[in-house]
Amino acid sequence: MIRPHGSDTLNPLFVYDAAKNEALRKEALTLPSIMMSSAAAGNAAMLGAGYFNPLTGYMNKADALSVAEKLHTTSGLFWPTPVLNLVDDAGSIKAGSRIALKDPNVAGNPVMAVMDVKAVETFTDAEKKLICEKIYRTVDPEHAGVAEFMKQGKVILSGPIQVLNFSYFQSEFPDTFRTAVEIRNEIAERGWKKVVAFQTRNPMHRAHEELCHMAMQRLGCDGLVIHMLLGKLKKGDIPAPVRDAAIRKMVELYFKPNSAMVTGYGFDMLYAGPREAVLHAVFRQNMGATHFIIGRDHAGVGDYYGAFDAQTIFDTDVPKGALQIEIFRADHTAHSKKLNRVVMMNEAPDHQKEDFILLSGTKVREMLGNGIAPPPEFSRPEVAKILMDYYQALDAKK
């Protein structure tokens, strides 16, 4: 199986030993505590699950700035985005403190992790702006990722953590949330050698489904891991339970047995386009995928990134050999009226725009809300039914 990023074996930061976990929970009650941001809690979940291997905790200022500017830590580890625990005020916490990190996303704010603080530092306004410019390629406050990052504090708490639970991801999505450890184990159990991963924060229409089939066939893959984001999204995105139901129905009906695994991970979307695409590749390698599909406008939002910037960054900014996972580059896929099948649009040079069945997200949402199924060439009827029920229920509440 493909090696994890940066180490020979996967080193998740979750405390699996039950006695040690319980002892840490008791100790946490006696420690000074801070409330994490949702972003920091998502980072803790990813660290605990092994997705952010080989990191041992939150980055310090020097590493965060080095990653933003050079895509590697001060020690030389290739990494595309800062992994931070930012707060407004550290209070009495200082280097050498041992603290409890409280979860902002669960009622009662239970302790999610215990942290040994190595440094307490502060970003200047200019440094936070620099990180935005490098990671998001914009400082526009209308950008969802920029807005979220800028509202977090400037005080950086860095150091190793021990993770005690996976927040609401495991409790609310018990059938879908999987750690990198669990996915690696399942890949091994299924006997898959070549595995392609597909990232999604949306339900999958016919174009997505066929893209996965194309990738599997062209790469000669044994299996596909559909890996959906379960964390916070932007306003208007479809909630995870609805996406989950729609995707599972599609796999059940339109994929061969033992060819596709439906899973999810706990993280808040960054909307960082190319940089986030590289982060996605890093943690897909950590979960055991050998290949990763990157399509048009991957992890993008609005018009901040070029359509294929998330692919070209692997040529321009990722050093050769930095990652073992390979990228499957995809164009926009759509149903061709001429060929009566889904194709990559760049592979149909004799087509005009009107030769494809193309529907905007706004148009699809409008149809679903009105109880009108999109054409079967665009969306499987069984998937459309799940989405229609959701949008109609949403409209009924207005």
Neighbours of 91 (CB within 10 A): 13
For the chain, the distance separating the N- and C-terminal CA atoms, rounded to the nearest angstrom, is 50
Residue with tokens 């580890």: 77
- Distance, in Å, from the CA atom of 261 to the CA atom of 67, rounded to the nearest integer, reads 32
Task: Enumerate residues 6+ apart whose C-beta is below 8 A from 257.
Answer: none
From the list 190, 202, 329, 365, the catalytic residue is 202
Residue 98 is a catalytic residue = no
From the list 201, 248, 329, 365, the catalytic residue is 201
Task: Enumerate residues 6+ apart whose C-beta is below 8 A from 5.
Answer: 53, 54, 78, 282, 283, 285, 286, 323, 324
- Distance, in Å, from the CA atom of 231 to the CA atom of 281, rounded to the nearest integer, reads 18
- Distance, in Å, from the CA atom of 163 to the CA atom of 131, rounded to the nearest integer, reads 27
C-alpha torsion 210→214→220→224, nearest 10: -30
* The pair of three-digit structure tokens given for residue 51, joined into one six-digit string: 């997705």
User: In one letter, which amino acid is 193?
Assistant: K
- Distance, in Å, from the CA atom of 243 to the CA atom of 201, rounded to the nearest integer, reads 8
- Distance, in Å, from the CA atom of 103 to the CA atom of 35, rounded to the nearest integer, reads 6
- Distance, in Å, from the CA atom of 341 to the CA atom of 160, rounded to the nearest integer, reads 51
- Distance, in Å, from the CA atom of 306 to the CA atom of 311, rounded to the nearest integer, reads 10
Of the candidates 311, 309, 279, 47, the one whose C-alpha atom is nearest the C-alpha of residue 167 is 47
Residue 201 is a catalytic residue = yes
User: In one letter, which amino acid is 119?
Assistant: A
Q: By the 8 A CB rule, do 60 and 119 touch?
A: yes
- Distance, in Å, from the CA atom of 46 to the CA atom of 12, rounded to the nearest integer, reads 9
Residues noted as catalytic: 201-202
